[in-house]
Structure formats: C-alpha cells, structure tokens
Amino acid sequence: MTPARAVRVVVRYTFVCAVLGFFTLPLLWLAFAPFDRDPSIAASLPQFTLHNFRELLDNEQALRSLRNSLVLAAGTGGIVVTLAAAAAYALSRVRLPGRDGLLYALLLLSSIVTGTAAMVPLFNLAYELDLIDSQLGVILVLSGGLLPSAIFILKDFTDTTPRSYEESARVFGASPLQIVAHIVVPLIRPGLATIAVWSVAQVWGNFLIPFLLLRSPEKSPAAVVMYTFYTEGGQPDLALISTFSLLYSLPVVVMFLFVSSRYGFRFHGGIKH
C-alpha cells in the first residue's frame, strides 16, 4: 500500500466514523439517559437506576398522554385507511374526467392543510364547528391532511391489481361488497399496512395540530405533554423527558417491526404474465 493510498483510506474511515457518531449520539442518549441517576444533555454511561421509570409510572399526566396519543393515532389511522382504500379503489376503477388532476391538486393542497400556513383558518373552522378541545376535531383535521397522500399511494396498489380477479368473482355472483372484502382488500393488504403505519407514525409525532386545537391538558397527546416537562426551577426535567421519550418512541418501533415482518412481502402469481 502506498502512503498516499493509506492516507486516503484513513481519511475516508475517519469521515465515516464522524458521520456515524453524529447520528448515533442522540440515539445513545435516548438509550442511556433514562437509566441514569442524574441525566445531562451529554450521552454518558449511566449510573444505572430504574428510578426514572418509577417516577414516570407515578406521573399520571404522562401515562394519560400516551393513552391520548393512542386514541388519536388509532382514530386517524382507522379513518385514513378506510376512506383512502375506498377512494383509491373507486378512483382506479371508475373513469372520471379530470381524475388525475384532482388527485394531484389534492396532494398539493394536503401539504398545506396540516401545515403551519393553515393554522388560523383551521383554528377558525374548528371553532365554528365547536370542535375546539375535542379529540374528534384533532382526528378529523389530521385525517384530512393525510388522506390525499394515502389515496395517492393506495391507488398505485389498486391500479396494479388486475381487473380479471374482480370480474372472475363477479361472474360467480359475488356482490361488490364481497368483491372488496374477499378479493381487493387481501390483495392490497401490504398497501393498507403501509398506510396504517405511516398515518399512525404521522399522528404520533404531530405536535402542532393537537397543541392548537386541544385546551385541557388531560386530553393532550404525548407529543404535546412532553413539551411541559420542566422542573420547578424552569429547567427541562431531563430525567422525565428522556424516560418519557424512550417510552414514547417504543410503540412506533414495535409497530414498524411487527408490520414489516408480517407484510414485508407481496403475493406473487395467480395471474400469468
């Protein structure tokens, strides 16, 4: 090995290590700080304790907020998956003038709907509909924001499902509902799982909408409640925040692992190409 080449190798690996460290350190902090008797912002080997967890389990607000997050995520996920599947199936099977234009317009607008730009009108709308401080209001707004992208992604799945499956079932006398239940849903199940995971993750991490629309702390989800964890001295309560963060991130990770192991494949065959 020539010296010049050796230098290049050293530089390359140093760079990779730096990048790796940059991304790993926050995760290390998340892994270690909850078990530390005296956590700081630095990631360090903890003086091991489970005290932080005991404290968190005694914190009623923290646990309730996780339940609230679950309600919001499940509600939104349910609405998004059901409506997006129905819309995507209809859009891919019915000829509609300006169909693609409609889809793209929706997609474009959706990024605005749940974004900061629409904060004031959204608040006004919720106020007029008497949906302020209501979890239903949050679920509806979040669903509205997620639906266009969900429809767009699912339409790709329904488009690639050959019509002959459905026609075959029709000739045997299956009703439209039976066709959807027996044929279409199982075939696009990987797509449905993708949309479910994606929308739950979106809701789980959404801070702005619930912060905006919910008043009472007992209705707030975890993402909002975490923002309120300060010590009496006005300092962020790192012990509570780190422990809560770990607990907060676990459901999404578990869900992802479960869905990916269950639906991380697609059916092949049945139609001869």
Partner 1 sequence: MAAIELAALSKVYPGGVTALDAVDLTIADGEFFALLGPSGCGKTTLLRTIAGLEEATGGAVRIGGDDVTALPPGRRDVAMVFQDYALFPHMSVSDNIAYPLRIKKVAGAERRAKAAETAGALGLGGLLERRPGQLSGGQQQRVALARAMAYRPRAFLLDEPLSNLDARMRLEARTFLKRLQRELRVTCVFVTHDQAEALALADRIAVLDDGRVRQIGTPAEVFRRPANTFVASFIGSTPMNLLDGVVTGDGRVGVGGVPLPAGEHGLPDGERVTFAVRPEYLGYGTEPVPGALPGRVTVVENLGSAQLVTLDGDAGSVQVVVDEDVPVPLGATGYAAPRPERVLLYRRDGELAAPEAPHAGA
Using CB under 8 A, list all residues that contact partner 1: 162, 164-165, 167-175, 178, 182-183, 186-187, 189, 267-273
Smaller CB separation from partner 1, 23 or 267: 267
Q: How far is the CB of 157 from partner 1 (least distance, A)?
A: 13
Smaller CB separation from partner 1, 85 or 113: 85
Q: Are 68 and 220 in contact (CB under 8 A)?
A: yes
Smaller CB separation from partner 1, 21 or 176: 176
Smaller CB separation from partner 1, 256 or 263: 263
Let me know if 31 is exposed, middle or buried by CB neighbors in 10 A (0-12, 13-18, 19+): middle
Smaller CB separation from partner 1, 64 or 182: 182
Q: Are 191 and 157 in contact (CB under 8 A)?
A: yes
Smaller CB separation from partner 1, 154 or 222: 154
Q: How far is the CB of 89 from partner 1 (least distance, A)?
A: 16
* Number of neighbouring beta carbons within 10 Å of residue 266: 11
Please report the DSSP string for 88-149 in residue order. Answer: HHHHHHS--TTHHHHHHHHHHHHHHHTSGGGHHHHHHHHHHTT-TT-HHHHHHHHHHHHHHH
Q: How far is the CB of 180 from partner 1 (least distance, A)?
A: 13
Q: How far is the CB of 160 from partner 1 (least distance, A)?
A: 12
Smaller CB separation from partner 1, 5 or 273: 273
Helix 135-159 to helix 189-205 angle (10° resolution) is: 150
Q: How far is the CB of 153 from partner 1 (least distance, A)?
A: 20
Let me know if 139 is exposed, middle or buried by CB neighbors in 10 A (0-12, 13-18, 19+): buried
Smaller CB separation from partner 1, 23 or 265: 265
Q: Are 180 and 89 in contact (CB under 8 A)?
A: yes
Let me know if 196 is exposed, middle or buried by CB neighbors in 10 A (0-12, 13-18, 19+): buried
Q: How far is the CB of 196 from partner 1 (least distance, A)?
A: 18
Residue 202 sits at the vertex; the CA angle it makes with 198 and 207, to the nearest 5 degrees, is 175
Q: How far is the CB of 174 from partner 1 (least distance, A)?
A: 5
How far apart CA 132 and CA 127 sit, in angstroms, is 6
Q: How far is the CB of 272 from partner 1 (least distance, A)?
A: 5
How far apart CA 159 and CA 88 sit, in angstroms, is 9
